[in-house]
Amino acid sequence: MRHKDFVSRYLSEVTPTAFELEAGEEFHVIGAGPAQFRVTLHKPLSRRELLRSTSLALGEAYMRGDLEVDRDLYEVLDQFLGDMERFRTDRRALRSLLHTSLSPKDQRQEVTSHYDIGNDFYQLWLDETMSYSCGYFPREDTTLFEAQVGKVDHILRKLALKPGMTILDIGCGWGFLIKRAVLHYGVHAVGITLSQEQHRKVTQEIQEEHLEGRMAVKLMDYRELKTCGMEFDRVVSVGMIEHVGRGNYGAFLDCVSSVLKPGGLFLLHFISGQEEHEGDPWIRKYIFPGGVIPSLREIMDLLPRRRFRTLDVESLRRHYTRTLLCWKENFQKHRATIRQRYGDEFARMWELYLASCAAAFHNGVVDLHQLLLSKGVNNDLPMTRVV
């Protein structure tokens, strides 16, 4: 089979949507029905790479600029990412890439490779709260800033905080949640992170705003919680368990239990999958090395044996689609600066990451769940869902 015929057949099998394909002087329509967009190939796609991984082959071609589309990237991806089961993945060839190390050293390196790109980079396209997780959009006109403040308040209200309580944030990011808990709910807060950049920024803010004694941030692996000697009324973790790795979820929950008082509440906010999956090869290679998305059911299965009672389960999937589109819009506004600082391939990589994740959430490939749990029975909470 000629290479161009192979590429056309391959793309028709993995892409359910009809589109125009332009390669050199050749031009034709892939799939049945009216074409929804045009793909231009400036260089031929590798047969070997296509057979190895659809997402890697197409993702790397886009990063290099070998592949272009004539519509907004999210709009294009949104039309076919719901059929990702069509994608090819040679798991034997990608065994080392799809393997997740559970060692503290490797996981620290994987986490910092993403979050320590630099605070200046994230400040370009996140909102003023520096929240790098799903926002909460109760209204159509809610801004990204309002959504991130709203998300934090949504979490803190669920935790039924009272002045004087103590709260731990595992994977505290740039610290907005613990600072808001201290300033608006009157609690004492501790955050832990593996990111040097995040730790530096939160520490500086604590000093500048004279919050010593009310909040603190520590460079700490969650596994150190078992021997830290601390105890808390409430624990929260937002977007961190995705870095724990399949095989360590039980150990993570054990560490939470070790610092949570009896009757205390734990809110777990995480990206979830419908089923257990090792993850997308392109995301694993370029964005979140070692990252694994747990399914809701595998987390739920681990809770009873650790005496965690499930009080509330909420999906915020569509909120994450909108969050990612806001980030993508901000990113595009600063794209020239990002390209100048980090290079065109880096800018195209991050554009693809934000657009593909937005499409994945929109198509239900992944979800976002908040679980509210109590350690043992807690009969002192409101009997209706806090909104």
Tell me the catalytic residues: 357
CA distance 361 to 342: 27
**Contact 234/158 with Cβ under 8 angstroms?**
no
CA distance 201 to 205: 6
Instruction: Read off the tokens for 277.
Output: 């999956």
**Contact 57/15 with Cβ under 8 angstroms?**
no
**Contact 255/30 with Cβ under 8 angstroms?**
no
Spell out the residues 6+ positions from residue 356 whose beta carbon is closer than 8 angstroms to its own.
77, 81, 283
Question: Which residues on neighbouring strands pair with residue 215, listed in sequence order?
Answer: 189
CA distance 279 to 281: 6
* Strands, sheet with 215-219, edge to edge from the N-terminal-most edge strand: 215-219, 188-193, 166-170, 232-238, 260-273, 366-375, 308-315
Q: Is 181 helix (H, G, I), strand (E, B) or coil?
A: helix
Q: Any alpha helices (H) in 134-290, and if so which ranges?
A: 144-158, 176-185, 196-208, 249-259, 281-286
Residues in the chain: 387
Q: Are strands 38-41 and 188-193 parallel, antiparallel or unpaired?
A: unpaired
